[in-house]
Amino acid sequence: MKEHSKKLAILQQLSDGQFHSGEALGNHLKISRSAISKHISTIQDWGLLIYKIKGKGYALSTPIELLSSNKVIYKKLPEPVLLGVIDSTNQYLLNKMEDLESGQSCFAEYQTSGRGRRGRSWVSPFGSNIYFSLYWKLENGLAATMGLSLAVGIAVVNALEKLGCSNLKLKWPNDIYWNDKKLAGVLIELSAQSGGAAHVVIGVGINVDLDERFSNEIGQPWVDLKSILKKKNQRNKLANELLSSLHEVMLEFEKNGLSSFIERWKTLDNYMDKHIILQLGTTNIEGVCKGIDAQGAILLDINGNTTSFVGGEISIKKH
Ligand code: BTN
């Protein structure tokens, strides 16, 4: 982290979206203008667009709201670690798991190897989105974790609704959609069990202010909070809402499992009664989506018979 302290300090200055001269930045950080220029090149590799104009200096193409320990202040869980640059917030917690208290979380400004479900990567430009992970020790063990991923999707929806988002939907098992475009994703990773408890890391990525330049890399329809709310970046507020809503959901899930969430999930299901394809390995199964069962498996009506599936990836069947 220390190796990036100068770049992070430059970004602190540039976060207002205004022009800052190389000289002013250099004076502030006590380094030369050419050192500033080198740092700026690396920062651009972090996915930020920086304008350089002769006589004016450097400016970000859009202001960013950096996460701050003065603003992320949810007190009912261990204090979240705010990271600048990290490979993946999930990996950060998985590496430290043995020393962690249940409820420990972290946020990052930038992930160099952010990961998504099914071995995909998760586009993670600096300061643009939320990259969050939470460690939880589930005393009930692995059996409970299937339903967990659905409950977490609901927690993310709840947090986004607190910011004013409406019409949010879920795509089984836990993608968050708005108008058929992906707004957020959840990746739950497990570590080896000890004494029956399951050690889970819940990773959440939410698009907050994502540049169109990343569309090719994402490769599916997506949306960010800025376009939905038409408001400026509120990453610190969203971070607090996410901590609070996930905490509430985890406590309820520990007590009653998925049962308390089934009805809410049904109201959020984006695929209910739609003709879909479930891709299971190399096999495609077609059917009409009939929601989820008590364990969180997806229900498909296949020629009049309803069958449940615990894994796979769903998509709308195109006619
Ligand atoms: C998906 O929809 O494919 C899941 C995306 C999960 C992305 C988040 S970002 C924070 C956490 N760290 C990661 O490397 N991935 C998750």
Tell me what the mean pLDDT of segment 126-147 comes to: 88
- Measured CA to CA, the distance from residue 296 to residue 243 in angstroms comes to 23
For residue 104 and ligand 1, the question of a CB distance below 6 A is answered with no
pLDDT digits (tens, 9 = 90+) for 148-177: 999 999 999 999 999 999 999 999 998 999
Instruction: Give the position, in ligand 1's atom list, of the atom nearest the Cα of 184.
Output: 2
Q: What percent of the chain has pLDDT over 70?
A: 98
Buried b (16+ CB within 10 A) or exposed e, 210-246: beeebeeebeeebbbbbebeeeebbbbebbbbbbbbb
Residue with tokens 């296949």: 302
pLDDT digits (tens, 9 = 90+) for 68-80: 999 999 999 999 9
So what's the pLDDT on residue 318?
80
Tell me what the mean pLDDT of segment 179-200 comes to: 87
Residue with tokens 């020790």: 137
Beta strands in 5-128 (DSSP E): 50-53, 57-60, 81-86, 105-111
pTM reported for the whole predicted model: 0.95
Q: 87 alpha carbon to ligand 1 midpoint, in Å?
A: 11
Instruction: Give the position, in ligand 1's atom list, of the atom nearest the Cα of 182.
Output: 2
**Greater pLDDT, 140 or 277:** 277
Q: 38 alpha carbon to ligand 1 midpoint, in Å?
A: 30
Is residue 193's pLDDT more than 80?
A: no
Rounded to the nearest 10°, the torsion over CA 138, 79, 90, 184 is 90
pLDDT digits (tens, 9 = 90+) for 244-303: 999 999 999 999 999 999 999 999 999 999 999 999 989 999 999 999 999 999 999 999
DSSP 8-state symbol, 224: -
Is 256 labelled as part of a ligand binding site? no
| Structural domains in the chain, sorted by start | 2-60 (1.10.10.10), 81-266 (3.30.930.10), 271-316 (2.30.30.100)
So what's the pLDDT on residue 195?
65
For residue 172 and ligand 1, the question of a CB distance below 6 A is answered with no
Q: 116 alpha carbon to ligand 1 midpoint, in Å?
A: 5
- Measured CA to CA, the distance from residue 137 to residue 140 in angstroms comes to 9
Mutate to test the pocket of ligand 1, among 187, 200, 243 (most ligand atoms within 8 A of CB): 187
- Residues present in the chain in total: 319
**Greater pLDDT, 281 or 9:** 9
Residue with tokens 């994703």: 185
